[in-house]
Amino acid sequence: SPARSALAPREAAARRKGKARRGRGKARSEGLLSKQKRSRRMKANDRERNRMHHLNSALDALRSVLPTFPDDAKLTKIETLRFAHNYIWALTQSLRLA
């Protein structure tokens, strides 16, 4: 077409590349897609499980340095964070007064 021939060679090549990228190439089978989705989901679950293990370990370490009575029940995650915040604030205030 006249519009196509009016394009510079570089622009025409870029247009062809863009069209080539839009297609998926070979059609993938349903079984292969299902296996890939399952694999991705398992990897994502594993990452999330590891993230939660690290978070829980960090909260356990934080609980171990907070002053609590031994007979107290284990603080929840939010209680631990609030208590740590208030404890740091109280220590800061005592240092300011000293």
Q: What does the pLDDT read at residue 47? A: 98
Distance CA 7, CA 12 (A): 6
Q: Could you tell me the two tokens for 42?
A: 């398992």
SS (H, E, C) the chain: CHHHHHCCHHHHHHHHHHHHHHCCCCCCCHHHHHHHHHHHHHHHHHHHHHHHHHHHHHHHHHHHHCCCCCCCCCCCHHHHHHHHHHHHHHHHHHHHHC
Domain borders along the chain are 22-95
Per-residue tens of pLDDT for the chain, all 98 residues: 555 555 566 666 666 665 555 555 566 788 999 999 999 999 999 999 999 999 999 999 999 999 987 777 889 999 999 999 999 999 999 999 98
Prediction pTM value: 0.62
Q: What does the pLDDT read at residue 57? A: 98
Tokens 């398992």 belong to: 42
Fold (CATH) for 22-95: MYOD Basic-Helix-Loop-Helix Domain, subunit B (4.10.280)
